[in-house]
Structure 1
């Protein structure tokens, strides 16, 4: 073997030996992925996030775990994830953090459009309007009449300023002309504790989180924010049916990554997430909780966010919703 041949042989052998290690170094994900939920456990956000995380865990070959980090209407978690550059951190986007907070706060510690890359719209959840059984109102009409008869004497709770429940009730207040005091909590779980105990008269909560309490008779649903009646609650009319044509209030949740995440990882996540959310088992699981699985592309999700920002900016300005 000539000297040149020996050099070529050694170089080729070294390349072959290094190939598996290079492939492993470039493989992604190469460690567990943290999926941050900017709200306390116990609400629709956790149900959607865990469903998506479960599907991704199966398809990516790495554990995708949910990390609840509530506080400041989701701003604490959004700020933390915006700065994450480990390529293994995601966040659950929401109507509040993406479409309301930018207009509710004079200054945010994150830019909803520049600091994140949309991956996929995961699911939509209809908002339900409920009251404690002690409230003598069987439907929306009776509830509105009761509130008008007791101005400033009744309270409603939400998962926090800018949460979907806050928006849903303010939207109803705008449409009906009622006044009812807002009591913000640090998440749906703490809010439900007081609502179930009768310390709150009313609330609007995502169907996924509250259906079991309605079916158990612990809360009374007086209206749904959906465009049509829900199969799970066929006897409960929509808000639109009860005197407010065109009224619709639906929560939504999507997956985003920090803007620093490599586009190749975004593309992989988008493909697997879309496939996972359209999986029969995921769709069946979410339908059981009255949620609609979506699984959109990044471009579709970006367009959806832009449309929602335009819609809710007008609501926030008109209702004068501001951070407290």
Structure 2
């Protein structure tokens, strides 16, 4: 442990030892300087969009700047690993999708411990994965697309935000269950993956709705299905995978907020309360729904329980599907 981190841990421990009234006053003074919000994927993607919404509202509500820092690479591992090294003082926050719980099963080695490196703040929103194609692809349904892939080996590929992301898992579920000749093209963000399909560099993209919905509305992509139990208000005319005849292709894609382990509980409570408050604001709720997000704002305890369940779940799913980091 380096000297700087040890000093911050000592400060945090000292704050925890203060009487309740003193700790409350210390938390009330937070934040006293700008707060870094690490997003472990590139600009324009789903985590980035949500991170910026959260950062903007926390800045407005708490009177200090919350700014997003995109640290992409290795399916989110680099950014999460960087956040894990930050001082547990509330001045570094992590906003990440479920690659946080997927990567421990996907990679032989990752730079964080999903059970010990962070304290959960809130599961902010839920969403899903959208299957969309370039308009030149002559498919109106998922079944049409499957027939095209089966009759044209090696012609089709799919872009995602990276190895181990929800889009990658949905793509591999589809590929393995139907024995498709379909190549995965990973990018460093959903924004880049979607842009590649819009430009025609890739034929299919699988990503959360935020960067896809605007392109579908503009006619630059054609959405075929959502891997969710219900249709999305933002894409009300787009079928679920179950509607399309593939009920086993479903994924609950969430985005959560974490802080480095050891961050004072009063700060975690403060952040949780303010994020939950922002989710109730009409402009935020409307924007989230328009982007295909479902506001949740869980408690830290509820989120901690889900993390534990999903860490065990994804080990089984990834081993069964034989999915590996490329």
Category of TM-score, reference length = shorter chain: 0.7 to 0.9
Q: Deviations over 1:150-202 (max 9, x none)?
A: 23331111111112211121122244342311111122232223211111110
1:286 paired residue among 258, 264, 288: 288
Corresponding residue for 1:19? none
2:72 paired residue among 70, 73, 76: 70
Contact 1:55 1:277 in 2 (8 A): no
Corresponding residue for 1:89? 92
Distance in 2 (CA, whole Å) between partners of 1:218 and 1:281 is: 26
**Which is further off, 200-209 or 26-35?**
26-35
In the TM superposition, residue 109 of structure 1 has moved relative to its aligned partner by: 1.3
Contact 1:125 1:208 in 2 (8 A): no
Distance in 2 (CA, whole Å) between partners of 1:294 and 1:41 is: 23
In the TM superposition, residue 106 of structure 1 has moved relative to its aligned partner by: 0.9
CA RMSD of aligned residues (A): 1.9
Provide the TM-score with structure 1 as the length reference. Answer: 0.88
Q: State the secondary structure of the residue aligned to 1:46.
A: helix
Contact 1:147 1:180 in 2 (8 A): yes
Contact 2:132 2:222 in 1 (8 A): yes
**Closer, same or farther in 2 for the Cα pair 1:277/1:26, shift >3 Å?**
closer
In the TM superposition, residue 245 of structure 1 has moved relative to its aligned partner by: 2.6
In the TM superposition, residue 119 of structure 1 has moved relative to its aligned partner by: 0.2
What is the aligned length? 302
In the TM superposition, residue 24 of structure 1 has moved relative to its aligned partner by: 7.7
In the TM superposition, residue 32 of structure 1 has moved relative to its aligned partner by: 0.9
Q: Which structure: larger Rg?
A: 1
Distance in 2 (CA, whole Å) between partners of 1:252 and 1:25 is: 28
Q: State the secondary structure of the residue aligned to 1:232.
A: helix
Distance in 2 (CA, whole Å) between partners of 1:274 and 1:231 is: 21
User: Which runs of no fewer than 5 residues in structure 2 stay unpaired?
Assistant: 1-24
Q: Which runs of structure 1 show a deviation greater than 3 angstroms over 4 or more consecutive aligned residues?
A: 23-26, 174-177
Q: State the secondary structure of the residue aligned to 2:111.
A: coil
Q: Deviations over 1:243-284 (max 9, x none)?
A: 123542232101000003122211211122222223332211
User: Which runs of no fewer than 5 residues in structure 1 stay unpaired?
Assistant: 1-22
